[in-house]
Each structure stands twice: as C-alpha cells, then as structure tokens.
Structure 1
C-alpha cells in the first residue's frame, strides 16, 4: 500500500524536479522502391527536409491530410492496405524478433509488404492477401496461416543461401541494434542486400520448414540449394511489383511502432523517419521535416502518435509555434530533465526555495543540477516549483482557506530561473477555491514560454473541510477544466508546450484519473509521486500510483530533505525505474 500521509504537517516542504528526455537527431535514410517489373531495388536518399519542388507528386491515394495508422496489433495490415494497392507476393512472419528482422530484410529487398501472423489474425491476413491479389506468400519463422488454394506458400529456412535465392542479392550481414529506436532506424536504412541478424547457414536465424498451410501449396526454400524440394519446386525468386506512379509520403515512426509497419512503408518507397518520441515536435530535425512538407501529407505509424485528429494538431503546432523551451525545442519532455526546488517567497517554512533570495536559490540549485548532469543522457536544467496559492488554516477574507500570492510577488523567482536557462512551475493549493479560478489569477505569468502549472490535490477541500484534518482530493472533471483552459491559453499565445503537473501520493487524491483528457498536445502531463519516508515507503507509493497509468504521462519524483530516511542521493534517484523526468526537493 502507498505511504499514507493523512496527517500532513503545515511546515513540510515540497519540491519537484523535472527530468527531461532525449533529443532526437535524424537518421540518414535510404528509401527502397521497386522499378519496372524486375527485382532491382533503387536507393533513394531522404529529401523530405526540403520542399518537394521539382519532385513528382505524392500519389493521390495518400490524401492531403496528416494521418495515423494505429496498427494496434502490429501486424502491418493497415499499412499494407494504404501503401500497396496490389502486390504479386507478400512476406508473412511470426512476431519473434529474429523472424521480424529477417522478414523485413526480404520484404525490403523484394519491394513487398511484410505482415505479421499474431496467432489470432488469420482471417484478416487471408483477407489482405486476397485484396493484394498475391499469388505467392513467403512464410518466415514458421508462420502458419490458412490461405486460399490459389496462393502458393513457400517456407523460408532462415539461411543466407535462401535469402540470396529469394532476392537475387548476396547477403550482407547486419548485426541488429536491439534498442527500439536503433532497430527501427536500421530497417529504414537497409540496402537491398542487407540481412539483419544474418548468420552462417549451419546456424540459421529462423530454422523451421515445417509450417503448415492446409490449403496453399508448400515449398521449402534454401534448406539445401541442390537437394530435391517438395511438390511445386523451389522458388527461384520472389516476384516483385511495378513501381507506383507518384511518390509515397513522409512517414514517421517511434518506439512502439511495429517492425512490419516500418518495413512495409519502406518497401513501398516511403522515406521513414524514426523519432525518439511519438511527436513530430521532438527535435529541430523533425520540425524541419514538417515545415518542409509544402502541403504534402505525412503518415504516422503506431497508436502512440494518438489518433489522426491529435496528430494533425501536433503537426499544425510544429508548423506555427516559434517560441521555444529553455535550451530549444517545443516539447517540455523529452529533450531535457529538470531538477527543482519547491517553495514560496515567504521563507523556508514552505520549502527550500524560499530559504534564500531568488539569485541565491538559483546558485544553490545549480550545484545540485551539476551533480545530476553526468548521470543523464539529456541536458539537466534547473527549475523552481513556486507555491502560488498556499492552503491556510483560516478561511481568510474570501473564505476559501487559501492565500493567493500576488503574481508580482512571484516574478523575481521566475525572472531568476529564466535568466539561468531554467523552468518555473506554479503550484496551486486551492483549499475550497475552484482550481480554474485560481489558475486564471496567474494568466500573465503562464503566458511566459517557460512557466507551467501544478495542481496539488492534497489541499483541495470539500465545502465542510479544513486543511490539516484530511488529505484532499480532486475530481478528474475539475482537472480537465483546467487542462482545457491552459491548453487554449498556450495555443492562443503561440507558446511551446507547457508542463501540467498533477501531485499525488494516495490513489484517492485524483478521482477517476483514467478519465482525465490527455488529448492536449499543448500540455505535457506529469504525474508527481509525492511519497516520503523510507525507501520502501516511497517505492510502495510510486508503484501504486503507476498502476494502470497511461503511458503518455511523464513521471516525476520528490526527495524530502527532512522527512525521507534517508534522502536519496542523485545517483539513487537516477537509478529509479522508470527514470523520472522531473525531480523535486522539498
């Protein structure tokens, strides 16, 4: 169970440190397309970074609007449907990594779609083979699918000799980079003879020639080139497809995109860019690609890009927003990690940030940032989480049990962290007030490109509640109200993405969390785990809060200077899995 802080102390200090992620760099890409009726594959360098002047137009079937192919089952069928109006043959592989890599190598060399047999999608695969009009299917990795009698199924034995027989290319062994980005990037850069995971014939990558197909004719390819083969004879060469009229569009992929989806798009002649995060704003390179489309469509592969409406909005923001985050870029995360001090200008009783002047706090914080810098692959920047509204034990003149700071009182700290190249987050402890009403007090500060917002549900009270008597809570509906307003403010003022931080250390603190609307590309949703105590207590809270958490949240972690026993060192903090993007000190 998570650590229960049902009796919070008025002097306990909070701080949030945001750790940010990877900055994308573009990969040099080589597109694969089939020309004429032969099996020759042409190398086509990536030219998507500049407008399409002087190039043939994108084929009409791709439309003109940004689009997401979610490929939920990672079968590649949805991608094949768009990129291949027809094909004389197709490659079907099992989901195992070795089969996927080999299937991708063959499909790219032959210019054919790669499909994945998931074990439950047999009818969908059969329907796609029929739609393609494919008369030949190569089964890789023991893939077994019931296909029409008119389809001849050949079984690949995984040897280099079979690859050469199937593609007419002498195999060039390529060692797979088994990181998600690395492997997908390798597939986008494969040359026609490259064979991922290639090994000597005596130790085949995929050694299974016993795939069964009750209706199709089976032949084994490459087991022993000179030996007799089953009925139907050996497949001398996979048939290839004539090149389409018109180009394929720019395609984006990211960790979570299926291998079959990337290989199929590449085999159709598309340039595929593998992003380190599923958002076209993730790097300067990806921003340049979107801005250089000149009215042409862009296709995203994988459900992590959101639906087509969400993706269209992110591409629009990529084209129109010019303001940047500290250190550059449009996204809060990934791209940097943040280490923050938490507090209020009134003094140290409300957090470490208030123990010093703004300039002194920045200098002190930068010493801590320097300890984190060598532990992170991403730049680490300083941050302040400033308590803008402070929960109070008395109702005050407005009766809401919360004292709202004058925005100008907070500005010196925002100016100091801005001058240091850092980020500021305004924290709301609303008492009985409505969160949206308090957020609007700080509209002018939130119009700054490096100022985000945090909601502190611990201090959100019911009509008969007072601070320190219970742990508060907020309904998802009220969170959505603030998120809608903040996203609109961000968009209307042409601002880069804003951090939207939700504090939580008990499950009850954010009611119906699963109904929070995350479809705001203007916001980076951050879940801040606020548990304190022993390491066991903190991890119990951390693990409970992450149960069933939408992967679109970025994780934040808090180190309590006085209440943790002992407080985690920077090294220990950065060893937490998943590694937090925002680390705060209170």
Structure 2
C-alpha cells in the first residue's frame, strides 16, 4: 500500500492579527488540521518594544534607507550550500528566527553552519536569514487581501543581524488573496541590495479561492516566471550578482505547469521541500514533489519542533541529508 504523503507544513506560517493590528490570542498548542497544525501568534509572542514600530500595514519605502553591504556577494549556487534560519522576529511561533533573542539565534545558526562544514568540507557554507515580510491572515483586514505587510523595520533589523555573520537574507511573501505583481515591488528597495533575495510560499497563495489556513494554495509557472523576471530586471539594471528565488512546496498542487518555469541566467531557482513529519515521509515528499519535477536547485526544510513531535521522530542530520538524491543546496531550519 502506497504511503500517503501528508501536506505536513499546512498552516505553520501565519501571523494572525485582530482589529487594531494586535495579535489575536490562541492556545499554545494551535488548532489541529488534517495533515498539519495551524499555529497562530499570540499577543505574548510579539515583543513589546516592537508592537507599535513593526506590526503595521505600511510601505517599506517609508522607513530609513538601508546601506549596501560592505561584503561582496557573487554567484552562490551551486558553489556554496545555503544554511538558513526562518521565521519572523515578531513571533516566537513562526520559526527559530523569532523564537530566540537575536544573539542567541545567531549563535545557534553558527552551530548549524559548523556542523555542515564538518559534514561536507568540500562545500563552503553560506549562512542566511529567511524572514517572512508578508504574512497570511485568517481575516481580510483593511486591504481585503488576507495578508499583512511588515514594516521596513523588520527587514532593516534582519539585514543588520545578517551583516554580523556575512549572511545573505531572503524576504518571504505569503500573498493570501493579493498578487505577486502587487506585492513584490513593495520589497524592491531591499531586493536591490546584492545580499537580499526572495522567497514565495504557494501554501498561502489563494488564487483559486478559500481562506489562508483553511486550504492549501497554489502558484503556476506563470507566477514564478513573473517573480524571476522581476528579479532578473533588477539584477540587470543594478549590475547585481544572480538573485535567488526560493519556492516552498510540499504537495503536488502547490506548483502547476513546472515544465513552463523559465530558467534565467541571473536568477537561481530553489524548489524547497517544506513539509514536516517523520523521516520516511519527508524523503517521500522530496522524491515526489522536488526530484520528480526538477527545475534547477533543490532545498529541504528541518522543523526543530514538528519533526520531533512524536515518539521516534528525529531530526535529519547533515550527513543524512547529504545522502539525498539530488543533494539539496539550500537547507532551511524553522
């Protein structure tokens, strides 16, 4: 009997806010959904010194300008392996990036980088911070898009942390009922920086209807081509090294018409296996949705909590992930 591949990440990425842009409360265990857990951010998960300055619906161009990194960032893949920490600094429940204070988080990232360097000395490691800048919502909010833009303060903070580790940065968007054409340009001032890249999450792209967290969303090759085209134009116009686009995926329907995805010389595409569960399940998902529908480069996500939530479940080690075929070039920890 063929094992059913569970859409294991479902609902994990939502920072839910109520009227007045204050996070709504929920139980610490979240709400059980088929194939995963919907976890929303409680008011306690927002740091008090950031509630007013960061959780606002505003255009990032209203914030202070970010200086270009003093480091040179050239073509990264496949010469290096990216080790990324994911989340939102306003929530302790969306990933390791916001779960710990910055210095503790960065110190733990250092440990993961060292582990990968020891496991594969032949491949240099590129540390990264992957921050959710547009968070899916269970309610329409004022924009009626079921998504919430973070202020530029969030990006500024994460970029400044990354500089202390010579790390690159990914800005991730969960568009809800908005569009990539509307949302990606809001990040342009950051995407013009040589060390800043983009992530898109089809799980929360509700182009076929529904509410984020209520069903799994989808994107088409056409959407991905818009994103890579936008990044390609920026790279050309500003003489930047190749940009990277990370596309989350853990079900068949999250990405359609993959054969029509365009490969561009100055954009590198990572198809990222983004589900949680036990090791056989995650391997199955990687083979079914990443290996069997190849695009360019591959990624694999580790969930510190959800991948160990049941007896007998253990985290993949770097040595185990190096045995995957193809070997992933992007590893994300949540």
Could you say whether these structures have the same fold, taking a TM-score greater than 0.5 normalized by the shorter chain as the test?
Answer: yes
Question: Shorter-chain TM-score: what band?
Answer: 0.7 to 0.9
Mapped pair 1:11 → 2:39: yes
Gaps of 5+ in 2: 11-32, 42-67, 308-312
CA contact (8 A) 1:556 1:582 kept: yes
Q: Which residue of 1 is the match for residue 261 of structure 2? A: 516
Q: Which residue of 2 is the match for residue 427 of structure 1? A: 172
How far apart are the structure 1 equivalents of 2:140 and 2:274?
Answer: 26
How far apart are the structure 2 equivalents of 1:428 and 1:467?
Answer: 13
Matching residue within 67, 73, 77 for 1:333: 77
CA contact (8 A) 1:325 1:332 kept: no
Task: State the TM-score, normalizing by the size of structure 2.
Answer: 0.77
Q: Which residue of 2 is the match for residue 413 of structure 1? A: 158
Residues 268-297 of structure 1 show CA distances to partners (whole Å, capped at 9, x for unaligned) of xxxxxxxxxxxxxxxxxxxxxxxxxxxxxx
Measure how far apart 1:3 and its partner are: 2.5
Mapped pair 1:566 → 2:309: no
Gaps of 5+ in 1: 14-322
Distance 1:548 1:568, change over 3 A: closer
Distance 1:415 1:360, change over 3 A: same
Measure how far apart 1:559 and its partner are: 0.7
CA contact (8 A) 1:499 1:525 kept: yes
CA contact (8 A) 1:407 1:445 kept: no
- Partner of 1:488, secondary structure, is helix
Mapped pair 1:471 → 2:219: no
CA contact (8 A) 2:73 2:195 kept: no
How far apart are the structure 2 equivalents of 1:329 and 1:424?
Answer: 11
Measure how far apart 1:450 and its partner are: 0.9
Question: Pairwise CA RMSD of aligned residues?
Answer: 2.2
How far apart are the structure 2 equivalents of 1:435 and 1:454?
Answer: 11
Question: What is the correspondence of 1:261-300 to structure 2 with a 5 Å cutoff?
Answer: none
Matching residue within 339, 349, 360 for 2:93: 349
- Partner of 1:349, secondary structure, is coil
Q: Which residue of 1 is the match for residue 297 of structure 2? A: 554
Measure how far apart 1:423 and its partner are: 1.1
Task: State the TM-score, normalizing by the size of structure 1.
Answer: 0.45
Measure how far apart 1:341 and its partner are: 0.9
CA contact (8 A) 2:126 2:167 kept: yes
More RCO (CA 8 Å, sep 6+): 1
How far apart are the structure 1 equivalents of 2:228 and 2:190?
Answer: 16
Q: Which residue of 1 is the match for residue 326 of structure 2? A: 578
- Partner of 2:245, secondary structure, is strand
CA contact (8 A) 1:418 1:450 kept: no
Measure how far apart 1:548 and its partner are: 4.2
Q: Which residue of 1 is the match for residue 18 of structure 2? A: none
Residues 520-566 of structure 1 show CA distances to partners (whole Å, capped at 9, x for unaligned) of 1111110101122111110110000135434x511110011122122
Q: Which residue of 2 is the match for residue 22 of structure 1? A: none
Measure how far apart 1:575 and its partner are: 2.8
